[in-house]
Amino acid sequence: MFVAPNLAAVAVFMLFPLGFSLYMSFHNWDVFTPAKFVGLANYRSLITDPLFSIALRNSVVYTIGTVVPTILVSLAVAGVLNRKVKGISVFRTIVFLPLAVSSVVVAVVWQFVFNTDNGLLNIMLGWIGVGPVPWLVDPKWAMASLCMVTVWRSVPFATVILLAAMQGVSENLYEAARLDGAGELRQFVSITVPLIRGAVAFVVVISIIHAFQAFDLVYVLTGRNGGPETATYVLGIMMFQHAFAFLEFGYASALAWVMFAILLVLTVVQLRLGRRRAAQEEQSWA
């Protein structure tokens, strides 16, 4: 049957792991010795683990610190790119370029940009007489740097989606708005943004899911231990550590499921909020 191979793959690599990891979370296992059933012990120690609260806080900060700027910036960028002027496709190609770059390359390159002694940013700051900033070395700055890189990485992705949504808005609406007296900014705020609400919501959800689980970028940019003094110790890193460094598969699985649960709740809340926000907006117009 047509579906068989595909179905088998999905079952083996998706459905089975789902169940298995849940199962594992109730055990202590290190792959070498047989698993030992411990019930909810993993979950209990997780909650009391100080590293967990650090990781959780870091992940939350990271998520907010990347999703919000990403949305704002990509709205603006998509708005600027949403025109039919000469050469616009060149600009679009350039803006979407970072999508083709792997996270690893991004991280390595930005490490160079952030380099305390001879990175581009500090050089440019030097031109305006501001002292060098220890971007990746100082715990206070590490998270900010990480967020910056992530935003740089995420904006093109969000822009692609928002731009596609913007292009679905009929030209006639803008003409009517121009006749009604709306200037550029007004048109953007009153017409473009409300009409791409769905795409914005989608980007928000996807971005939150990505940010919450981030691993690649964090690992390569600030190291496997979560940066200077755990400044960038996020949940993704924590899980990796416990699973593949400490070989505590049960514990790591428990962590994974906790993350899943949080994400699920967040997504549901968002969907509800989205619906309510839409209703509120209509009243604000009156």
Among positions 197-216, residues that touch other proteins (CB under 8 A) are 197, 199, 202-203, 206, 209, 212-213, 215-216
Determine, following the binding rule CB under 8 A, whether residue 120 of this chain makes contact with other proteins.
Answer: yes
Contact call for residue 141 and other proteins (CB under 8 A):
no
E-strand stretches of 9-77: 27-28, 36-37
Does position 247 bind other proteins by CB under 8 A? Answer: no
141 versus 212: smaller Cβ distance to other proteins: 212
What is the nearest approach in angstroms of other proteins to the Cβ of residue 48?
21
Please state the length of the chain. 286
Q: Which stretch binds other proteins (CB under 8 A): 47-55, 57-65, 226-234, 254-262?
A: 254-262
Q: Which is nearer to other proteins, 47 or 108 (CB)?
A: 108
Which parts of 58-117 interact with other proteins (CB under 8 A)?
77, 80-81, 83, 85, 88, 91, 93-106, 108-113, 115, 117
Q: How far is the CB of 66 from other proteins (least distance, A)?
A: 16
In angstroms, give the least distance from the CB of 210 to other proteins: 9
User: Hunting for tokens 């692609």 — which residue is that?
Assistant: 160
When binding is defined by CB under 8 A, the residue of 55, 133, 166, 239 that contacts other proteins is 239
Task: Identify the residue among 55, 71, 211, 252 touching other proteins (CB under 8 A).
Answer: 252
Q: Are 107 and 149 in contact (CB under 8 A)?
A: yes
Total Cβ atoms within 10 A of residue 185: 9
Vertex 148 angle, CA 144 and 154, to 5°:
140
Residue 144 binds other proteins, judged by CB under 8 A: no
Asked if residue 134 binds other proteins (CB under 8 A), the reply is no
**Under rule CB under 8 A, residue 129 binds other proteins:** no
Cα(86)–Cα(89) distance, integer angstroms: 8
Report phi then psi at 168, rounded to 5. -85, -5
Q: Are 239 and 24 in contact (CB under 8 A)?
A: no
Rounded alpha-carbon distances, angstroms, from residue 239 to 104, 234, 235: 19, 9, 6
Helix (H, G, I), strand (E, B) or coil at 281: helix
Distances, alpha carbon 136 to alpha carbons 43, 103, 150, 263, in Å:
33, 17, 14, 28
State in angstroms the smallest separation of the CB of 28 from other proteins. Answer: 14
- Is 18 an interacting residue with respect to other proteins (CB under 8 A)? yes
35 binds other proteins (CB under 8 A): no
